[in-house]
Amino acid sequence: MSVELKTEKLSSEDYIELENRYGAHNYHPLDVVIRNASGVWVYDVEGRKYLDCLAAYSAVIQGHCHPKIMAAALEQAGRVTLTSRAFRNDQLPLLLRDLHELTGMEMALPMNSGAEAVETALKCARKWGYTVKGISERKAEIIACANNFHGRTISVISFSTEAQYRFAFGPFTPGFKIIPYGDIDALRAAITPDTCAFLVEPIQGEGGIVVPRDGYLREAEDICRAENVLLIADEIQSGLGRTGKLFAHEWEGIHPDIVTVGKALGGGYYPISAMLASRKIMDVFHPGDHGSTFGGNPMACAVARAALKVLAEENMIERSAVMGAYMMDQFRRFGSPDVRDVRGRGLWIGLEMKSEARPYIEKLKGEGVLCKETRDTVIRVSPPLIISREEIDWALERFARVL
């Protein structure tokens, strides 16, 4: 076996050819090969500079290679990185405390990916349904919304309405009902004595940056309380400041029973996610019920603690609200005949085009701006929250030329 360590002479085309030859084709990335990144900027292997308006699907809201998060990662890497949960470590308790103090949620169960956090919430809701609510064995139902995205595991795609996510992956996990997003009457009608939870994204991200009407989440919370149904808010992409508040559900002033977080929790350095809940809900888990070898590892916890700290210390949530309002207003002033709608909250903006979005994405790349399409016709704009007014204006000039 030959291993090439000196890759400095490879071109973008070389890297793309290697990836296509040896990697599974489960993504359709833009043909830009990034070698370096700092703040809101990334650089390809030829040295070309781009403004990152995707931020790794919100996983690097603190900016690329944030020095304080880097320092925490390097320090922890030299101490201990993994113990498994068979032993205790000195970082997990501190992260659990930090999450409680930041979010107000009493307890957390850390995992690695966002999909794992959702799976954890589903398992918790079902066990709560059986052991607390008293649902008959194997009868528990969870309600989800059409156009959702909660991951790509078998159980999660079982309640997806995206045909590609489900094609040739059946049989699917039973126990889920699908209702239209934003339809409060449909939620009310779908609940039965066997309903244990309602899983919802406060804003549908992969669905096209879809913001529900004002009052929808408050009404959903009232119904869940009245029917003794857990309200689960998936904040993996929308949480930790992306929308101009710590969590997107705070725009409605609600208090979900369970919140899932991920992506930005790792500061762009290390994968970590968590399910947050009250003690009475989390206490349905007993040793052996659920777990992960890497879940709650000291490396991830140290990084997450630094990621949360800089989020608060550098006022990134407030910046998202201010800069997002400015950027959205400027997009709406464009008056482009190709744009059907501009929507979003904070620095999470969707430009719905009247045709396929991919050609616009490719042209933006040529102008030095990196975005990604979602649901075919929507350009998602979600830069790191540290972006400045000058950098936004720089990006807007390029958007204006393309749109």
Domain of 144, CATH number, reads: 3.40.640.10
Q: At 121, give phi and psi (nearest 5°).
A: -65, -40
> Would you list the DSSP string of 62-125?
T-BT-HHHHHHHHHHHTT-S---TTS--SSHHHHHHHHHHHH--SEEEEESSHHHHHHHHHHHH
Residue 66 in contact with residue 304, Cβ under 8 Å? no
Query: Are both 80 and 22 inside the same structural domain?
Result: no
Asked, for residue 355, whether it belongs to a domain, the answer is yes
Q: Considering only CA atoms, which of 223, 227, 225, 243 is closest in space to residue 235?
A: 243
Among 281, 313, 345, give the residue marking a domain's end.
Answer: 313
Among 266, 288, 313, give the residue marking a domain's end.
Answer: 313
Distance CA 216, CA 202 (A): 9
Radius of gyration over alpha carbons of the chain, in Å? 21
Query: Are both 36 and 174 inside the same structural domain?
Result: no
Asked, for residue 5, whether it belongs to a domain, the answer is no
Range of the domain at 388: 12-62+315-402
DSSP 22: H
Mean pLDDT score of the chain, rounded to an integer?
96
Strand order in the sheet with 49-52: 34-38, 41-44, 49-52, 369-370
Structurally, the chain folds into a number of domains equal to 2
Reported as a single tens digit per residue, the pLDDT across 340-367 is 999 999 999 999 999 999 999 999 999 9
- Catalytic option among 44, 52, 127, 234: 234
Asked, for residue 6, whether it belongs to a domain, the answer is no
Among 256, 279, 313, give the residue marking a domain's end.
Answer: 313
> One-letter amino acid identity for 66?
H
Query: Are both 53 and 128 inside the same structural domain?
Result: no
42-66 average pLDDT score = 98
Asked, for residue 289, whether it belongs to a domain, the answer is yes
Q: Considering only CA atoms, which of 403, 327, 391, 401 is closest in space to residue 52?
A: 391
- Catalytic option among 149, 294, 331, 399: 149
Crossing angle (nearest 10°) for helices 358-366 and 389-402: 120
Confidence band, pLDDT 50/70/90 cuts, at residue 9: confident
pLDDT at 3 over 60: no
Asked, for residue 3, whether it belongs to a domain, the answer is no
Tell me, yes or no, if 234 is annotated catalytic: yes
pLDDT for 219 equals 98
Distance CA 262, CA 307 (A): 12
What contacts 298, CB < 8 A, 6 or more positions away? 76, 79, 80, 81, 82, 83, 89, 90, 91, 92
Query: Are both 309 and 335 inside the same structural domain?
Result: no
Query: Are both 196 and 336 inside the same structural domain?
Result: no
Query: Are both 130 and 192 inside the same structural domain?
Result: yes
Query: Are both 184 and 111 inside the same structural domain?
Result: yes
Asked, for residue 240, whether it belongs to a domain, the answer is yes
Confidence band, pLDDT 50/70/90 cuts, at residue 54: very high
324-344 average pLDDT score = 96
Asked, for residue 7, whether it belongs to a domain, the answer is no
How many Cβ atoms are within 10 Å of 295's Cβ, its own excluded? Answer: 21
Distance CA 400, CA 335 (A): 10
DSSP-derived 3-state class of residue 143: strand
Q: CATH number, domain at 329?
A: 3.90.1150.10
pLDDT for 184 equals 98
Provide the token pair at 44. 């390809």
Query: Are both 303 and 323 inside the same structural domain?
Result: no
Provide the token pair at 269. 């350095």
Tell me, yes or no, if 263 is annotated catalytic: yes
Query: Are both 25 and 119 inside the same structural domain?
Result: no
Tell me, yes or no, if 198 is annotated catalytic: no
Query: Are both 169 and 265 inside the same structural domain?
Result: yes
- Catalytic option among 263, 331, 372, 399: 263
pLDDT for 66 equals 98
What contacts 301, CB < 8 A, 6 or more positions away? 89, 91, 92, 94, 95, 110, 272
Across 339-351, b (16+ Cβ under 10 Å) vs e yields beebbbbbbbbbb
Query: Are both 162 and 278 inside the same structural domain?
Result: yes
pLDDT at 7 over 80: no
Query: Are both 18 and 166 inside the same structural domain?
Result: no
Provide the token pair at 312. 């608060």
Asked, for residue 99, whether it belongs to a domain, the answer is yes
